Amino acid sequence: MKRRLVLQGLLAAVPAAGALSSLLVAPKQAQALGGTLPDLDQPAPDFVLAGFVPPGTEGERRLSDFAGRWLALYFYPKDFTGGCTLEARGFQKDLAQFHSLGAEVVGISADSAESHASFCGSEGLAFPLLSDPGGLVSRRYGSWISPYSQRHSFLIDPAGVLRASWVAVRPSGHSQEILASLQSLIAAAPSLPSPSPSR
């Protein structure tokens, strides 16, 4: 009698365990320290942000401005800090390689356009830095812990589809990581739209 009750209890637990395991395995949106990451192979979250656009103008940039080109979009905490400066220098050093592959580079942080202008001038950066002071766009990309954007990066294809993401990146060599992924994605997907000439 005791064995029968134990077996009935085990059999009753199996469906519950099965349901529990399916909950554990069921894919949900990826989480990062900065929030919910956008899904890969889906349209990238839209943005319209003001900022500093070298060679020396302030203005707005939106995701659609980069249609027809790959976009390496990186979020970082603060201008003029050690890690952020190292990361920005890496992107600047590799900027010609990005352009040769039909890609643009854009950085986003909570800093003001004025701070971005100083940072670009100080470091000789020739790519846009956009201002997200309230973290609205950073949140859409799972990259915000107030008051800073988190160090996450995203690769968006010429059709505006999110193809790769990196979270909590190490600033040193990160630009090369993105370049390697970009080259692999281009080689693996010749059916993607051809990038338009560099701007």
Long-range contacts of 164-173 (CB under 8 A, 24+ apart): 164/40, 165/30, 165/37, 165/38, 165/40, 167/32, 167/33, 167/34, 167/37, 167/142, 168/32, 168/33, 169/74, 169/87, 171/83, 171/84, 171/86, 171/87, 171/90, 172/86, 172/87, 172/90, 173/90
Report, in angstroms and rounded to the nearest whole number, the Rg of the chain calculated over CA atoms: 21
Provide CB contacts within 8 A for 138, sequence distance 6+: 34, 75, 108, 110, 132, 144, 149, 150
DSSP string, 16-70: HHHHHHHHHHS----EETBEEPPPTTSBPPP-EEEEEETTTEEEEEEGGGGTTSE
Indicate if 120 belongs to the active site: no
Q: Which of 71, 84, 108, 169 is catalytic?
A: 84
Residues with catalytic roles: 84
